[in-house]
Amino acid sequence: MNKTTVPVVVARFIDAPPQRVYDAWLIPQNASKWLFATPTGRMIRAEIEPKVGGRFRLTDRRDGVDVDHVGKFVELLPGKRVAFTFTVPLYSKEETLVRVDLSPKGKGTKVVLTHEGVLPEYSAKTMDGWTKILDGLAKETTGA
């Protein structure tokens, strides 16, 4: 039986050039500060193989529970797009697709993140999660 899914789209302006925003997704020591990190958790693993077909695993320890975020890069266009499959095995075995499109806007970057394959009952929580992640990305890339 096919499940009905919805796309979740989050847009944000970041006051940093597109290449800096792009690089922040692919450098483990940078990504571990904001990507899937939670205020009460502690990032204990950040493995990123920054190439098409390369895999990533970021693990946030939350209240003694390790939450893995895993996937594989399906498209990397420097300064323009990062696209990857995405799974959080603790909560679901379903693989979804995330596209992060970057475009120059003034001295900064317009970021449009599209997460495809989200179950409707998780769309609001998913939107909130990605909004917080993009807030962290903005802080990491602008130093604010």
Domains and their CATH numbers in the chain: 6-142 (3.30.530.20)
The neighbour count for residue 76, using CB atoms within 10 Å, is 18
Q: With a cut of 70, say whether residue 144 has pLDDT above it.
A: no
Banded pLDDT at 95 (limits 50, 70, 90): very high
Report the candidate in 71, 73, 70, 25 with the shortest Cα–Cα distance to residue 52.
73
Q: Could you tell me the two tokens for 80? A: 């323009």
Banded pLDDT at 1 (limits 50, 70, 90): very low
133 Cβ neighbours under 8 A, 6+ residues apart: 34, 35, 36
Report the candidate in 91, 103, 75 with the shortest Cα–Cα distance to residue 18.
103
Looking at residue 87, what DSSP letter applies? B
Give the separation between CA 62 and CA 84, rounded to whole angstroms: 24
Burial of 3 (0-12, 13-18, 19+ CB in 10 A): exposed
Structure confidence by residue, pLDDT tens digits, 37-71: 888 889 999 999 999 999 999 999 988 999 999 99
Q: Could you tell me the two tokens for 32? A: 């571990």
Residues β-bridged to residue 110:
13, 103
